[in-house]
Amino acid sequence: MKIAIIDLLFSWPPHGGADVDVYYIARALYGLGHEPHVFVPGEPEGWERGKVNPEALPFPASLLDFSDTGLTARAATARFREAVDHFNPEVVFLTQGYFLKTPLIYTLQDYPILSRCYAHETACHKDILRFKNGAPCALAYATDPDTCRRCAASHLAAEIRRESPNAWTREYLAAEAWSSGYHRRFLEAMRMLRGIIITTDHMREQVEGLCSTIHVIPHGVDTERFTPRPSRQPMKKPVLFCPGRMVDPAKGFSVLMEAASRLAGEGYDFELRATLPEGHPGPPWLRALGDLDYDSMPEAYREADMCVIPSVWEEPFGIVALEAMATGIPVCATRTGGLQDIVTPETGLLFNRGDAADLARCLKHLLDHPEQRMALGTAGRKRTSEHFDWKHIARSHYLPLLAGL
Over residues 331-373, the pLDDT tens digits come to 999 999 999 999 999 999 999 999 999 999 999 999 999 999 9
Which overall architecture, per CATH, does domain 2-220+390-403 show?
3-Layer(aba) Sandwich (3.40)
The class (CATH top level) of 239-387 is alpha beta
The predicted model scores a pTM of 0.96
pLDDT over 90, % of the chain: 96
Per-domain boundaries in the chain: 2-220+390-403, 239-387
* Distances in whole angstroms, Cα of residue 385 to Cα of each of 24, 295, 316, 329, 381: 15, 20, 21, 14, 6
Over residues 275-296, the pLDDT tens digits come to 999 999 999 999 999 999 999 9
Over residues 138-160, the pLDDT tens digits come to 999 999 999 999 999 999 999 99
pLDDT over 70, % of the chain: 99
**pLDDT computed for residue 66 by the predictor:** 95
Q: Cis link prior to 400 (omega < 30° from 0)?
A: no
Q: Do domains 2-220+390-403 and 239-387 have the same CATH topology?
A: yes
Q: With 70 as the cut, is the pLDDT of residue 259 above it?
A: yes
**pLDDT computed for residue 234 by the predictor:** 66
Q: With 80 as the cut, is the pLDDT of residue 241 above it?
A: yes
**pLDDT computed for residue 333 by the predictor:** 99
Where residue 163 falls among pLDDT bands split at 50, 70, 90?
confident
